[in-house]
A and B are shown apart, each in its own frame.
Chain A
Amino acid sequence: MNMYLHELKSLRKSTIIWVCAMIAIALMYLSLYPAIYRDGAHFKDMLAGYPASIRAILGVTVDSVTSLLGFYAMILAFVVLCGGIQAMNLGMSILSKETRERTADFLLVKPVSRAAVVTAKILAALTMFLITDLIYYAVASAIAFMVRQSSYSGGLFFMINFTLLFIQFIFFAIGAVVSVFFDRLRSVLPVSLGTVFGCYIIGALIAAGKDDWARFISPFRYFDYSYIVQNSRYETPYLITGAVIVVVSIVTCYFVYVRKDIHAVS
């Protein structure tokens, strides 16, 4: 418990910054929504002169991207990118910081098992993600409610937002497992940024199609927002893949960290 509280305390400042960043993104984009909604309506009027088939296809697409949920799903991609960086960074640093900051000689000679150390740290990180996402969700809901142009499903809005937490767990787990293997890394930022932006770019460029095998590479594409909006559920194969990544990574993390040598300061 003491370690858990200590970790929470040390994560407090960075968590506040991340929440603010995520809220800022949502606020900036959502404030554009009314104007975009009008643009969309205007554009649909212009479509009147086109053949019915084109009108049907484009009209539906325009409707879906200019609906609050459709628009919000696009914003959330940026919020999730932000949350992904936060999670990967935290995952990579939470265990390795003891050796990098050379405090391992302090913590690991205390009468607690290594497994207990890992548990306290992981729980602290997960708590911080929950807090981050809850605050973000509350604020984003309020903003969305204020800028809405017509009614929308609160349940779907929640489902879309919930993906943020899930993706954070995945990146956290990946970060944690990477860090136990490469604990001599001098700085975690290049690796975590590289991985998260790499996944983001893969998601944006390569895995753009709906049923692409490449979607499995990028956790950002595990959730297809238009699928969620249409079907009110998540896609099971990707959900399972995500869960497997989290479980395997965390188990590996325990396994390796408990058995590893903590080297002297050099």
Chain B
Amino acid sequence: MSVIEIKNLTKYYGKARGVIDVSIDVEQGEIFGFIGPNGAGKSTTIRTLLGLIYPTSGSAKIFGKSCTTNPEVRQEVGYLPSEVFYYDGMRVIDLLRYSASFYRKDCTKRINELAEIMDLDLKRRIDDLSFGNKKKVGIVQGLIHGPKLIILDEPTTGLDPLMQQTFFDLIASENKKGATVFLSSHILREVQKMCERVALIKDGRIIKLERMSALQENNFKRIKVEGLSDLDKTIFDMPGVSKLENGGKTASFLYRGDINNVIRKLAQTEVSNLSIDEPDLEEVFMHYYSKDG
């Protein structure tokens, strides 16, 4: 059974678009990436999933149940919002205890462990914490009950690189223990490093849902050519070529399609150097978002 099951989800805020016809399935134990630029509908999807907002049509289910009709499924969900705000006048430990009181387990031990890992002072007042430290409170708060599903919305904003690493190690270890992770982000490195599958969302619609490996390997090659003399522009005039940068003797472009076609074309000219690489996700991403815009 899928842990997350989003079917034909559509959400309009009055007339403004939230998301349109989004369908995603996340399997048990995987780390699923959800990427898209600001305003594409990532938060709308997550908030519908958590039952904070209601779908206009379609459904969003966790463990086969909707959060709005079965709030108890949230027992097994941990959520870290992109911006964290907590109650005035509470200490970190008060908030964590309050948070723990919603779950049927004893979380005391886990609170101390997590605070240790994230280097968080439990005695401090939350109001006095910096943004990054508040974010840490959010991380600990989302994980104290050992959730089976962890939903992360832009989790690393405000964390320093060292803390980001600690955080991703922590998520990875939770994943090893069996937790499913749903990671929403616009930072591609994060997603590339962590995720097995990824959905790309743009203007409220899912434009691609694929295995990370497939996305990187099969579709695109980053090709760089150096010629002995200036390269003839017309050679690159073929289907599958995009992001062409042609500067005299050198050219670089993304290619999608049968690699043999390129090689045959390139064979017609004198080449001094040629490299064919896997493009990083960023290039794929830019491709999706800049084209068909």
Q: Which of A2, A6, A106, A263 contacts B53 (CB 8 A)?
A: A263
Q: Check if B91 is an interface residue, CB within 8 A of chain A.
A: no
| Given contacts A101-B85, A102-B85, A108 and B53 within 8 Å (CB-CB) | no
Min CB–CB distance B216 → chain A (angstroms): 31
In the complex, which range does the number of interface residues on chain A fall in? 20 to 34
Interface members, chain B 42-78 (any A CB < 8 Å): 43-44, 47, 50-54, 71-75, 77
| Given contacts A2-B98, A2-B101, A2-B102, A109 and B50 within 8 Å (CB-CB) | yes
A264–B77 Cα distance when bound, in Å, is 19
| Given contacts A109-B50, A111-B73, A6 and B98 within 8 Å (CB-CB) | yes
A150–B99 Cα distance when bound, in Å, is 56
Q: Check if A42 is an interface residue, CB within 8 A of chain B.
A: no
Q: Check if A112 is an interface residue, CB within 8 A of chain B.
A: yes
Q: Which of B53, B71, B86, B88 contacts A112 (CB 8 A)?
A: B71
The answer on a CB contact under 8 Å between A105 and B74 is no
A104–B77 Cα distance when bound, in Å, is 16
Q: Check if B79 is an interface residue, CB within 8 A of chain A.
A: yes
Contacts between chains A and B (CB distance < 8 A), count: 67
Residue of B nearest to A10 (CB): B87
Q: Which of B53, B85, B86, B98 contacts A265 (CB 8 A)?
A: B85
Min CB–CB distance B239 → chain A (angstroms): 41
The answer on a CB contact under 8 Å between A111 and B81 is no
Min CB–CB distance A163 → chain B (angstroms): 34
* In the complex, chain A residues whose CB is within 8 Å of the CB of B73: 111
Residue of A nearest to B101 (CB): A2
A264–B53 Cα distance when bound, in Å, is 9
Residue of B nearest to A97 (CB): B87
6 A-B contacts (beta carbon < 8 Å): A2-B101, A106-B99, A109-B50, A110-B102, A113-B71, A265-B81
List the interface of chain B (C-beta within 8 A of A): 13, 43-44, 47, 50-54, 71-75, 77, 79, 81-88, 98-99, 101-103, 141
Q: 8 additional contacts, CB 8 Å, given A6-B98, A105-B52?
A: A102-B83, A106-B141, A108-B52, A109-B50, A110-B74, A110-B102, A111-B103, A112-B71
